[in-house]
Structure 1
Amino acid sequence: MNIASPGVAKAAPDIDVSGAMLVDLTTGQILFSKEEDAMLPPASITKLMTAFLVREAIEAGELSWNEEVTPSADALALTKKPGLARIPLVNKPYTIKELYDVALIRSANEAAVTLGEAVAGSEEAFVVLMNERATALGMTQTTFANASGLDSVSAGRPGENLTSASDLMKLALTYLTKYPDVLDVTKQAYVDIDGVRFEATNRMLTGRDLAYSGMLGFKTGTTDDAGYCFIGVSTRDGRTVLSVVLGAKTDEGRYTATKALHDYAYGDFVMTPILRTGELVPEQAFVAGGEVEHVSVRTTSAFEVLIEKGQPVPKLVYDLPETSAPVKADQQVGTVTVELSDHVRYLDGEQPPKGMLVTAEAVEEASFLTRMTRAFSDFLDEIRLVLGKLSLVDRLELL
């Protein structure tokens, strides 16, 4: 079955950002990337690692959502710096849940520092944990210097946070896989604390001015050095898309780029059936000791692959290990998948889809006559092979 990819190929989005990546979470397929491994400042997207470590500490029983913690003098100092106070925390106890929510929804720097102190005792010790966790996740282009994502002058700590679109994708995927309910927090358009309501920093959420259908959050980030950054998650028609945008030049620019990427994912990539249910494939399975040595195989269900419109259907790869007689009809004997290419890429650790292949008919064990006939044929083949390697003089000497 030879199916052409539907539609007409369109150019990938031309987005004005320093680094980006787009992944279809339903398939694990990389749909777009731009400078995905370039080390760039992530600004407050850093808080994803902070919140992730808090969540891990809660799961380990080291913290609890209702536990109260009072911001330190260092954390409260951020509320006094112009432009840095996302939430005007005061010298009073807050629950871990309150701080977690405002760090993710409102990108509160004071809350992030306080959470780091709650986990490790100090922000300095927490940064060590951040970098250890990044290494464990394979974030090879990442180094953390503080819990908030601020530049060194604003954070009051030496060093800068640096990462890449591909590393942030690893972090975001791990977070979403282990704790998918984080989206119950990041999809909120506002957060209440101390009797005051604050809008989320994400302008693409439902009810905001740049609302995008299906948007579930995830995290914004902005500094002078980093520009405007955003990791966005959306879901439509049974598919979930995750994007990373770093270094946009304006606030609206990061959302324009995110919209372009998500529109591209939903509008230009189609789950395309390559093999029908019950279709015989071109390859056959070898049956050792069978009445026949090869048996036809077929699919058990439709085999589909996410393909960009206008791009060629990827080459099919069959895995049909040798099997031994007797073989029943509908016995699983192998799989079919697709060959990876520039147009079909998957995340590290993710595999392309596989379809099950079964025998189209039964094969009995070879009868005595069949085995003898086959053995004699093999003997003649060996003689022909030997003779084919001999010179004419050698052959005459054998006669």
Structure 2
Amino acid sequence: MKTYTSSKISIACAITLASLFVTPISFAAKQHAAKHAATKKAEASKKSEASASAVPPLAAQDSLAPNAPAIAAKAWLLMDFDSGELLASANVDEPLPPASLTKMMTSYIVEQALRSGKLKPTDLVSVSQNAWCRGTNTESCMYLPLNSQATVIDILRGIIVQSGNDASKAIAEHMAGSEEGFAKLMNAEAQKLGMTKTNFVNPTGLPDPAHKSSARDLAILARAIIRNSADYYAIYAEREFKYNGIKQGNRNALLYTDPTVDGLKTGHTQEAGYCLVTSSVRNGMRLITVVLNAGSAKSRADETRTLLGWGFGSFEKLTPIQPNAVVSSVKVSFGKADTVPAVLGAPWLVTVPRGQQIQTAVEVKAGLEAPLTKGAVVGKVIATSNGKTVSEAPLVAQVDVERSGLLLRGWQHVTKLFGK
């Protein structure tokens, strides 16, 4: 009996001891399994979110070269800066919410005011209660202190580099008294530039049902900034700006990875998706891209890289006529000379698909009469490729043509009358 009891006790002890070692191991295994399941669930959630935000590729609707890429965006384009011609595009004229790409017009108006002398870089701009940014995660800010003042040039950097809503509102109030007043300036400038699908309601791009622009219009604006704001365009390539002790980086990822990219602007709201306008120069050729409503910040950068890579690989710059070459001899009436040599008014570069040939044709103005000054437009030269006009350039008089004297002019009238 004692032996039986002792055996039972020994077995019980063994079971107890075993449980002390097995239980922690089993518990740890369960913890690990739970953690693994949670990780997989989180990864699946991320994939689901990425899938939900993904934008299907949109094929080119127009392209001047074969094999244009399909771009994952709601609208996109690739433009040749020199001519303003679209090299490839899709959905370019649909009015869409532009988000902070709006600030390209805000900065452009500031730049033109600086250029004309209406503003000075050192002018002080006040920060009102309306302009002040409280620093929430729903908007981008320069972090101008309430009731403070900042110089125009700092405000301009805050708009371009930091995409500051506060900077945009402050300069709008400074220049036009209110955001609404400044929006009128923006729309007037848009109309002047030929932005036919654009209507601005505010200087920031914060959502409003009436606030719209198109890919083509934004490319037109980018081209105007590059062409007309040369003194300030370098700001668009700045990677960071520090103000009020806060340093912020430019959100244009391509500025950090592609040394040929020198601007221009990012934008994002839930409604607009992720937007990006860039400009890049390689081997003397500048291209502009617009990507609207991409699925993520990474996607807008990747799709832009794809567009630029295809563009620079598929097109080249050609010089159809040398700048000093006499293109034509243009007839002039009532001058001391009967004709004037016509040359290009400026160097002429034409962007065409690689390997394509260019043909040129000259059109001269009829009925030209002396006096004619050097540099006066006397016609144009047209470049075509595969039967399509790809570029035009003005022809100008190479020299002055003085008006003939009274007797000579009388004789010229007689000969003209009889068709001689």
Contact 1:285–1:322 under 8 Å retained in 2: no
Partner of 1:382: none
**Higher share of residues assigned helix:** 2
| 2:354 matches 1:309 | yes
The 2-side partners of 1:354 and 1:138 are apart by 21
Partner of 1:43: 99
| 2:316 matches 1:238 | no
Identify if the C-alpha distance between structure 1 residues 60 and 307 changes in structure 2 by more than 3 Å, giving closer, same or farther: closer
1:174 to 224, 228, 239: 224
C-alpha RMSD over aligned residues:
3.6
| TM-aligned CA deviation for residue 189 of structure 1 | 0.6
Contact 1:337–1:355 under 8 Å retained in 2: no
Identify if the C-alpha distance between structure 1 residues 344 and 251 changes in structure 2 by more than 3 Å, giving closer, same or farther: farther
Contact 1:151–1:223 under 8 Å retained in 2: yes
| TM-aligned CA deviation for residue 105 of structure 1 | 0.7
Kindly, what percent of the aligned residue pairs are identical?
29
Contact 2:97–2:212 under 8 Å retained in 1: yes
Identify if the C-alpha distance between structure 1 residues 70 and 274 changes in structure 2 by more than 3 Å, giving closer, same or farther: closer
1:215 to 252, 261, 266: 261
Partner of 1:68: 124
For the residue of structure 2 that corresponds to 1:86, the secondary structure is coil
| TM-aligned CA deviation for residue 103 of structure 1 | 0.7
The 2-side partners of 1:55 and 1:182 are apart by 7
| TM-aligned CA deviation for residue 256 of structure 1 | 1.5
For the residue of structure 1 that corresponds to 2:305, the secondary structure is helix
Contact 2:95–2:214 under 8 Å retained in 1: yes
Partner of 1:352: 392
Partner of 1:90: 145
| TM-aligned CA deviation for residue 180 of structure 1 | 1.6
2:233 to 177, 183, 192: 183
For the residue of structure 1 that corresponds to 2:78, the secondary structure is strand
2:81 to 25, 30, 33: 25
For the residue of structure 1 that corresponds to 2:266, the secondary structure is strand
Partner of 2:311: 265
| TM-aligned CA deviation for residue 28 of structure 1 | 3.8
Amino acid at match of 1:170: I
| TM-aligned CA deviation for residue 303 of structure 1 | 9.1
1:164 to 214, 224, 232: 214
Identify if the C-alpha distance between structure 1 residues 93 and 261 changes in structure 2 by more than 3 Å, giving closer, same or farther: same
Contact 2:280–2:286 under 8 Å retained in 1: yes
The 1-side partners of 2:267 and 2:290 are apart by 11
| TM-aligned CA deviation for residue 72 of structure 1 | 1.1
Amino acid at match of 1:239: M
Partner of 2:176: 120
For the residue of structure 2 that corresponds to 1:201, the secondary structure is coil
| TM-aligned CA deviation for residue 220 of structure 1 | 0.9
Partner of 2:410: none
| TM-aligned CA deviation for residue 88 of structure 1 | 2.4
Identify if the C-alpha distance between structure 1 residues 10 and 17 changes in structure 2 by more than 3 Å, giving closer, same or farther: same
Identify if the C-alpha distance between structure 1 residues 344 and 31 changes in structure 2 by more than 3 Å, giving closer, same or farther: farther
Contact 2:198–2:214 under 8 Å retained in 1: yes
Identify if the C-alpha distance between structure 1 residues 93 and 341 changes in structure 2 by more than 3 Å, giving closer, same or farther: farther
1:117-152 per-position Cα deviation (integer Å, ceiling 9, x unaligned)? 111111121112111221222211110111100113
For the residue of structure 1 that corresponds to 2:131, the secondary structure is helix
1:164-200 per-position Cα deviation (integer Å, ceiling 9, x unaligned)? 1111122222222111233210111100111222111
| TM-aligned CA deviation for residue 285 of structure 1 | 9.5
Between 1 and 2, higher relative CO (CA 8 Å, sep ≥ 6) is seen in 1
The 1-side partners of 2:245 and 2:115 are apart by 29
| TM-aligned CA deviation for residue 314 of structure 1 | 5.2
The 2-side partners of 1:183 and 1:135 are apart by 22
The 2-side partners of 1:128 and 1:338 are apart by 39
Unpaired segments of 5 or more residues in structure 2? 1-64, 332-342, 368-377, 397-420
Identify if the C-alpha distance between structure 1 residues 253 and 268 changes in structure 2 by more than 3 Å, giving closer, same or farther: same
The 2-side partners of 1:258 and 1:340 are apart by 27
| TM-aligned CA deviation for residue 286 of structure 1 | 12
Structure (1 or 2) with the larger CA radius of gyration: 2
The 2-side partners of 1:128 and 1:260 are apart by 36
| TM-aligned CA deviation for residue 276 of structure 1 | 10
Identify if the C-alpha distance between structure 1 residues 27 and 130 changes in structure 2 by more than 3 Å, giving closer, same or farther: closer
The 1-side partners of 2:79 and 2:131 are apart by 35
| 2:226 matches 1:226 | no
The 2-side partners of 1:266 and 1:344 are apart by 21
| 2:186 matches 1:145 | no
| TM-aligned CA deviation for residue 342 of structure 1 | 9.1
For the residue of structure 2 that corresponds to 1:198, the secondary structure is strand
| 2:114 matches 1:58 | yes
| TM-aligned CA deviation for residue 82 of structure 1 | 3.1
1:197 to 229, 239, 247: 247
TM-score if structure 1 supplies the norm length? 0.68
1:254-282 per-position Cα deviation (integer Å, ceiling 9, x unaligned)? 111211221122111123577899x9x9x
* Equivalent residues, number: 313
Identify if the C-alpha distance between structure 1 residues 47 and 341 changes in structure 2 by more than 3 Å, giving closer, same or farther: farther
For the residue of structure 2 that corresponds to 1:75, the secondary structure is coil
Contact 2:382–2:389 under 8 Å retained in 1: no
| TM-aligned CA deviation for residue 111 of structure 1 | 0.8
Contact 1:100–1:111 under 8 Å retained in 2: yes
